[in-house]
Structure 1
């Protein structure tokens, strides 16, 4: 069920939502949300994190209003959730999916 889509916001920025195969290789998917200035920048943000083979073809699964709200209220603008169909699961920062440590300030 990999796929994705985008939504252009009134301020000109976009929210891109992608359903990708889970890194756990268990046949499940993860839903990734990215807020960026444009679609190309959103995909570049993911590629810079190591997700090299990420492409957005079409707009079959655009982000829902709840997904847009979630990503806009997160400081990083990058979220993921394991089961896109289950609304009970909370959104997680992208660093928890990729195993990156939290920066210390």
Structure 2
């Protein structure tokens, strides 16, 4: 389950924003994922197809900001992430393609 929200664009498409727990073991605060898709169901399906099976959007408590919408619309994949800010004081991290989040470190030989 994840906190998040969505915003419908004038052309009928949506931008979905989700706050997910961090996949890293270091105990960081989590990640904010943005998905640009035809509708909310397709946005969640895109994440589930990447292996994030337990992702659901309930409510609209944390919709994407205008800056987040601009970022995801200008990314060719329409699927980006960055670490979720733990407070409003630290500067935001740059957005990364979803491949960077799912990349596994190479095991030593």
TM over 0.5: yes
For residues 64 and 87 of structure 1, do their structure 2 counterparts lie closer, same or farther at Cα, with a shift above 3 Å needed? farther
Query: What's the counterpart of residue 10 of structure 1?
Result: 10
Structure 1: give runs of 5+ residues left out of the alignment: 101-105
Residue 91 of structure 1 pairs with residue 95 of structure 2: yes
1:28 corresponding residue in structure 2: 29
SS at structure 1 position matched to 2:70: helix
- Equivalence map 1:2-81=2 (5 Å): 2-25=2-25, 26-81=27-82
Q: Deviation at 1:75?
A: 0.2
CA distance in structure 1 between the partners assigned to 2:61 and 2:92 by the alignment: 23
Structure 2: 5+ residue stretches without partners: 105-109
Query: Alpha carbons of 1:87 and 1:35: their partners in 2 closer, same or farther (altered >3 Å)?
Result: farther
Corresponding residue of 1:103: none
Length-normalised TM-score, structure 2? 0.85
